[in-house]
């Protein structure tokens, strides 16, 4: 199958629809009588089927047809949603995903055939599945219906795009009671006819509970190259008005002018007949108008308002390239600032200030474009929890909060695997079996909460469960057995909890295909730290566990504090900096030799970065100490001097420097020199 532009557009659209479909199915599982959810599921299936057929994904269209039909019966109150139906609906989502990746998969075999057979059986058998709830049917009957007039005039080149207009008309027919009138007046003589061009257009009268947006969705891939007009029409009961209305219909559709109509009306004869006699309109246009007149439910016609779609799809590669260019621009702007200062030219300084303001705005806007709501990631885990809980015989509810919280797309992409590990562990290790929960005085249904919130220039993601919690004694015993700690070791609860991040550590009694091999949590920590983030665990035995991830909003550009040690420049993330003060070592070293600084009656430990980075130059008499706030603890970093804040475009160090400790990247300064970005967390963790 050729991956042309239209096919790629369908694949992207289908993936989004599948995500929406899974979310709707999860909600429907909690409320099987929700007519809005049922309609949403039907529309998603319907769109996937119609668009799939249009763009050559016949296997998907054929597979979805029976599922869509079953949900249409549910919509009409002829079929009731059951647990097996939901289970097979989830399986169908997985099969469609596979078909999107591999067009060799067919609906006639394997799991796809099993799913189709089930949905066909639902429609044919006379069991309980076909008994609908009276309340559901009453709700359906109360749904408003409208009658639409649709003029669809496709581009002559529509066949060249691989689109079959007949498929679009079939989709309209599936939406409700439908009358299609074909116009053939534009078909040329046989000698001039091009079989690869479309000369036909259509008027469609459709009565449906669907909205205008639903109808436009049918034409979403061809609307830009076609003439598409959709009006809402109503019925009239007066014959005299009907004669007049026939003329109005022809004027509205552009088949005759208002002036010509007025002249004909004055003759007091049958309008359609007179218009044809005078050659003012073609016969098929009058036939079309008469068909519509029969179908009208009200005299008044109005155009439904539609919102303009202002969204734009952009490949992520182009966005990444834009961010790289903005990063280079930030570096050039820093050079311009430095040049203006060194030259002492007030005019150039003013230009540099204007450029700096514009670059900052461009940087912020570009970063905001990369920001995505984390809710799209959260929604994926509802299906994961449902399936895992079913396999383990547990009853678990996943609650999500803060879905609107935004993160850089790169952070979200790299966050996927760690979150999967954490959620799976909460399901497997955290939440107890229903009978165990009842024995412990809890609800048989466990609860996992996935939440996100902003905290300064970071985002906090919490995975909380109300399960059995972590047992400090069990953790320490397992660590002793594995030789990770000595039997005499005394650990705080926090230190004991962090044992689970050690390679190979696991408390599972038996290895399962879900967890238990001890090859996950150490990887989780490494991945989070690779994102310049932190991970913390808090747990209460018998009550539950909370894991908190703290992540930066973006990985591309950060605000940093530029410092100097000897001839080398370093950058400290500004978000961690609390304050900077003058430092004299003789005043702050205690008698025991420990490095302790007293700031406003607070004792703060400090480290000399000169020693950590092995910089041999002689120390200046007066140094500066940068006090940082890390995990609610304060620590000082001693540097030679503090230069000031700096917009830091992060550059990777390359393969040769991957193993360099305590450095997370580099940045180019205005004069072209290099400043190394300090990995504050690595230094903090190394000194305990």
- Final residue before a domain boundary, out of 82, 114, 140: 140
CA distances (Å), origin 80, targets 26, 87, 131, 390: 16, 14, 6, 22
- Final residue before a domain boundary, out of 552, 573, 588: 552
Please state which of the ranges 214-223, 261-270, 294-303, 449-458 shows the lowest mean pLDDT: 294-303
Average pLDDT over residues 371-399: 87
Pair (539, 593) in one structural domain = no
Pair (183, 209) in one structural domain = yes
In terms of phi and psi (left: phi > 0; alpha: psi -120 to 50; beta: otherwise), the region of 479 is alpha
Q: Tens digits of per-residue pLDDT, 671-682?
A: 778 888 888 877
CA distances (Å), origin 113, targets 21, 118, 645: 20, 9, 63
The answer to whether 68 is a known catalytic residue is yes
CA distance 187 to 222: 21
Report which of residues 656 and 517 the model is more confident about.
Answer: 656
Residue 431 has pLDDT above 90, yes or no: yes
Q: Which of 463, 467, 532, 472 is nearest to 498 (CA)?
A: 472
Q: Give the gyration radius of the chain's Cα atoms.
A: 34
Q: So what's the pLDDT on residue 434?
A: 93
Residue 309 lies in a domain: no
Pair (67, 90) in one structural domain = yes
Strand arrangement of the beta sheet that strand 633-639 belongs to: 577-583, 623-630, 633-639, 602-608, 596-599
CA distance 540 to 492: 13
**Cα–chain-centroid distance for residue 18?**
12
Average pLDDT over residues 547-565: 83
Residue 520 lies in a domain: yes
Q: So what's the pLDDT on residue 125?
A: 54
Residue 553 has pLDDT above 70, yes or no: yes
Number of domains in the chain: 5
The answer to whether 46 is a known catalytic residue is yes
Residue 381 has pLDDT above 70, yes or no: yes
The sign of the CA dihedral 48, 53, 59, 62 is positive
Cβ distance 626 to 642 under 8 Å? yes
Residue 179 lies in a domain: yes
Can you read off the two tokens belonging to residue 123?
């429609």
Angle at 457 between CA 377 and CA 612, to 5 degrees: 110
Pair (368, 378) in one structural domain = no
- Structural domain that includes position 565: 557-686
Pair (168, 251) in one structural domain = yes
Pair (393, 491) in one structural domain = yes
Angle at 31 between CA 27 and CA 34, to 5 degrees: 95
Residue bearing tokens 């990770």: 484
Of these residues, 68, 252, 292, 432, which one is catalytic? 68
Residue 664 lies in a domain: yes
CATH number of the domain at 642, please: 2.40.50.180
Average pLDDT over residues 587-616: 77
Pair (219, 170) in one structural domain = yes
Q: Tens digits of per-residue pLDDT, 290-342?
A: 565 555 543 333 333 333 445 667 777 788 788 888 878 888 888 888 888 88
The answer to whether 425 is a known catalytic residue is yes
Average pLDDT over residues 59-68: 86
Can you read off the two tokens belonging to residue 266?
């004055």
Q: So what's the pLDDT on residue 137?
A: 37
Find residue 455's DSSP bridge partners. Answer: 458
Of these residues, 6, 46, 136, 588, which one is catalytic? 46
Band (pLDDT 50/70/90 cuts) for residue 4 is: low
Residue 311 lies in a domain: no
CATH number of the domain at 531, please: 3.30.565.10
Q: CB neighbours of 588 closer than 8 A, spacing ≥ 6? A: 595, 596, 597, 598, 606
Find residue 206's DSSP bridge partners. Answer: 148, 178
Q: CB neighbours of 658 closer than 8 A, spacing ≥ 6? A: none
Pair (23, 93) in one structural domain = yes
Q: So what's the pLDDT on residue 546?
A: 94
**DSSP tag of 56:** T
Report which of residues 287 and 403 the model is more confident about.
Answer: 403
Q: Tens digits of per-residue pLDDT, 339-355?
A: 888 888 888 989 988 99
Of these residues, 13, 171, 292, 425, which one is catalytic? 425
Whether this model's pTM surpasses 0.75: no
Pair (230, 245) in one structural domain = yes
Q: Tens digits of per-residue pLDDT, 72-106?
A: 888 888 888 888 899 889 988 888 888 888 777 77
Report which of residues 439 and 619 the model is more confident about.
Answer: 439
Please state which of the ranges 58-67, 282-291, 372-381, 480-489 shows the lowest mean pLDDT: 282-291
User: Torsion angle of alpha carbons 100, 106, 107, 109, nearest 10°?
Assistant: -130
Q: So what's the pLDDT on residue 59?
A: 83
Q: In which element (H, E) is residue 331 found? A: helix 316-343
Cβ distance 180 to 262 under 8 Å? no
Q: Which of 110, 192, 94, 206 is nearest to 150 (CA)?
A: 206
Residue 436 has pLDDT above 80, yes or no: yes
- Final residue before a domain boundary, out of 552, 584, 617: 552
Q: Which of 470, 469, 475 is nearest to 491 (CA)?
A: 475
Residue 308 lies in a domain: no
Average pLDDT over residues 2-29: 78
Q: Tens digits of per-residue pLDDT, 101-158?
A: 877 777 667 788 888 888 888 866 533 343 333 333 334 344 467 888 888 999 888 8
Pair (12, 112) in one structural domain = yes
Q: Tens digits of per-residue pLDDT, 190-208?
A: 888 888 889 999 988 888 8
Cβ distance 204 to 169 under 8 Å? yes
Q: In which element (H, E) is residue 572 found? A: strand 568-573
Concatenating the DSSP letter of every residue in 638-671 gives EESEEEEEEEEE-B---GGGTT-TTEEEEEE-TT
Pair (455, 504) in one structural domain = yes
Pair (59, 118) in one structural domain = yes
Residue 587 has pLDDT above 60, yes or no: no
Q: Tens digits of per-residue pLDDT, 240-257?
A: 344 345 666 666 666 667
């Amino acid at each position: 199958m050729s991956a042309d532009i239209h096919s790629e557009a369908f694949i992207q659209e289908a993936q989004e629809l599948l995500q929406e479909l899974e979310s709707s199915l999860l909600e429907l599982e909690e409320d099987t009588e929700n007519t809005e959810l049922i309609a949403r599921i039907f529309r998603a299936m319907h769109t996937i089927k119609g668009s799939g057929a249009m763009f050559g994904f016949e296997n998907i269209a054929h597979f979805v047809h029976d599922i869509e039909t079953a949900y249409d019966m549910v919509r009409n109150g002829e079929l009731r949603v059951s647990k097996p139906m939901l289970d097979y609906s989830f399986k169908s989502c997985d099969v469609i995903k596979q078909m999107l990746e591999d067009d060799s998969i067919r609906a006639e075999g394997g799991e796809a055939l099993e799913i189709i057979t089930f949905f066909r059986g639902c429609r044919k058998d006379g069991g309980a599945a076909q008994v609908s709830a009276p309340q559901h049917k009453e709700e359906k009957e109360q749904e408003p219906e409208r009658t639409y007039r649709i003029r669809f005039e496709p581009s002559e080149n529509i066949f060249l795009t691989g689109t079959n207009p007949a498929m679009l008309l079939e989709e309209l027919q599936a939406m409700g009671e439908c009358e299609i009138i074909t116009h053939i007046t534009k078909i040329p003589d046989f000698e001039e006819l091009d079989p690869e061009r479309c000369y036909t257009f259509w008027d469609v009268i459709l009565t449906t509970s669907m909205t205008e947006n639903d109808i436009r969705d049918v034409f979403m891939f061809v609307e830009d190259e076609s003439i598409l007009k959709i009006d809402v029409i109503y019925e009239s009961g007066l014959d005299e008005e009907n004669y007049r209305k026939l003329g109005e219909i022809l004027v509205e559709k552009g088949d005759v002018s208002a002036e010509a109509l007025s002249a004909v009306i004055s003759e007091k004869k049958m309008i359609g007949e007179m218009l044809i006699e005078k050659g003012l309109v073609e016969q098929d246009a009058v036939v079309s108008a008469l068909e519509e007149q029969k179908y009208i439910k009200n005299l008044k016609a109005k155009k439904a308002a539609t919102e303009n779609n202002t969204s734009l799809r952009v490949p992520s590669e182009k966005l990444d390239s834009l961010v790289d260019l903005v990063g280079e621009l930030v570096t050039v702007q820093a050079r311009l600032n430095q040049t203006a200062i060194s030259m002492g030219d007030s005019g150039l300084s003013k230009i540099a200030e204007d450029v700096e303001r514009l670059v900052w705005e461009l940087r912020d806007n570009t970063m905001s474009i990369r920001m995505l709501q984390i809710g799209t990631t959260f929604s994926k885990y509802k299906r994961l929890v449902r399936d895992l809980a079913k396999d383990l015989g547990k009853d678990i509810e996943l609650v999500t909060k803060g879905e609107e919280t935004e993160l850089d797309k790169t952070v979200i992409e790299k966050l996927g695997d760690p979150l999967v590990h954490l959620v799976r562990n909460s399901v497997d290790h955290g939440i107890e079996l229903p009978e165990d929960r009842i024995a412990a005085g809890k609800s048989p249904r466990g609860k996992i909460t996935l939440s996100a919130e902003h905290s300064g220039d970071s985002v906090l993601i919490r995975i909380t469960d109300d399960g059995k919690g972590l047992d400090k004694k069990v953790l320490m015993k397992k660590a002793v057995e594995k030789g990770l700690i000595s039997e005499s070791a005394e650990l705080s609860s926090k230190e004991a909890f962090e044992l689970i991040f050690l390679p190979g550590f696991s408390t599972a009694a038996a290895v399962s295909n879900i967890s238990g091999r001890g090859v996950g949590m150490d990887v989780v920590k490494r991945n989070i730290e690779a994102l310049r983030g932190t991970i913390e665990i808090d747990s209460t035995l018998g009550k539950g566990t909370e894991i908190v991830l703290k992540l930066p909003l973006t990985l591309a550009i950060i605000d940093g504090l530029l410092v100097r040690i000897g001839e080398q420049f370093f950058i400290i993330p500004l978000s961690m900096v609390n304050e900077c003060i003058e430092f004299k070592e003789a005043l702050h070293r205690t008698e025991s030799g420990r490095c302790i600084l007293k700031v406003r009656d607070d004792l703060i430990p400090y480290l000399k970065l000169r020693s950590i980075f092995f910089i041999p130059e002689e120390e200046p008499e007066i140094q500066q100490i940068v006090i940082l706030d890390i995990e609610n603890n304060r620590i000082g970093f001693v540097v030679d001097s503090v230069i000031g804040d700096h917009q830091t475009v992060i550059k990777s160090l390359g393969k040769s420097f991957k193993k360099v400790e305590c450095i997370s990247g580099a940045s180019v300064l205005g004069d072209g020199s290099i400043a190394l970005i300090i990995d504050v967390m690595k230094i903090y963790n190394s000194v305990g």
